[in-house]
Amino acid sequence: MAQRGCPTVVLYGGSDTLQAGMMTSYTMTGDAHGDRPVYYSSVTCNYLYYFKPTMEWRVGLQVGNDDGVRVRDSALYADQINGTFLLWNGGEWIENPDVKIACSDDVPAGVAVSQSVGSAIDCMRFRLHGDAIYLAILMTFFQTTTLEFTRTDQTSGGRPVYVWDTDSRYSLHFVEREKQWIGLTTGEHRVYVKNCAMTPDQIRSPWYLRDEYGVYHVVWSVTASCVGKLCQQLMAPSNGNIYGGSSYGDVVTYHCDAGYEISGDEKRTCQSDQTWSGTQPTCVRGWFP
């Protein structure tokens, strides 16, 4: 049985809803609202709290404002909620019996819960990818089917700013006020996602894409994957060349001009700590009998 006043609860189910990203763990903050404890998710920056005027528990980016999840129940603690949750579908509140809440120790086996991954910001480069709908929107505005971004030295809301490799006018960055990542904008943004992840590859919420008519669509297939941590660009040795990339796992190979030979490491690998294995070789004049 769930412990009275369980300090951490898990909201789960509803993985195919607009609120999928809110299905995660919430922990007591020590504050109260409506004579009930306030809970907070460091994964999504959402609060779980009691709204006394309507006798409802709600989820929202701010206490007092919900963002699409509510349940009419006067339980003293969130783990005691037994009512049927309501989710906003963009036009009305719909009952969703699949959405449940439980003490973190009582969550059924097999339920995947998004967890905070701390403040790591070591994803230097990532790729957005998705299904045919996503690709069609990309082709309409950017004439490409690939969106890869590289981290800059700038930050926004305590998170890195990334720029599109093809055109640095377009970026993806976090907006603290809205608690969301927005991107591909030189005016109005083309994509956004409500999530507080430290880097895009950690995002587990549905992405919204804007079409040619200015309408935003939830495109469930869109994900961001880290495609490599960049190492410092290596220089070719005098009288030689270097071949290969500088992302995590890439191997570069050194070659010397005719009449010269490698002295040192012929191959070096970009490592997980963003340093190169081995040392810089040189090209020395070959000895011929």
Question: 20-76, pLDDT tens digit by residue?
Answer: 888 889 999 999 999 999 999 987 889 999 999 999 999 998 898 888 999 999 999
pLDDT for the residue 11: 95
pLDDT in tens, 92-124: 999 999 999 999 999 988 887 766 555 455 678
pLDDT for the residue 2: 42
| Cβ-based neighbours of 281, under 8 Å, separated by 6 or more | 237, 254, 262, 263, 264, 265, 266
| Cβ-based neighbours of 34, under 8 Å, separated by 6 or more | 49, 50, 51, 52
Q: What percent of the chain has pLDDT over 70?
A: 85
Q: What does the pLDDT average to over 213-231?
A: 78
What is the pLDDT of the chain when averaged over all its residues?
A: 84
Q: Does domain 240-285 have CATH number 2.10.70.10?
A: yes
Distance CA 78, CA 9 (A): 7
Confidence label for 206 from pLDDT (cuts 50, 70 and 90): confident
Q: Is the pLDDT of residue 282 over 60?
A: yes
pLDDT in tens, 226-252: 876 667 888 899 999 998 777 666 788
Region(s) of the chain under CATH 2.10.70.10: 240-285
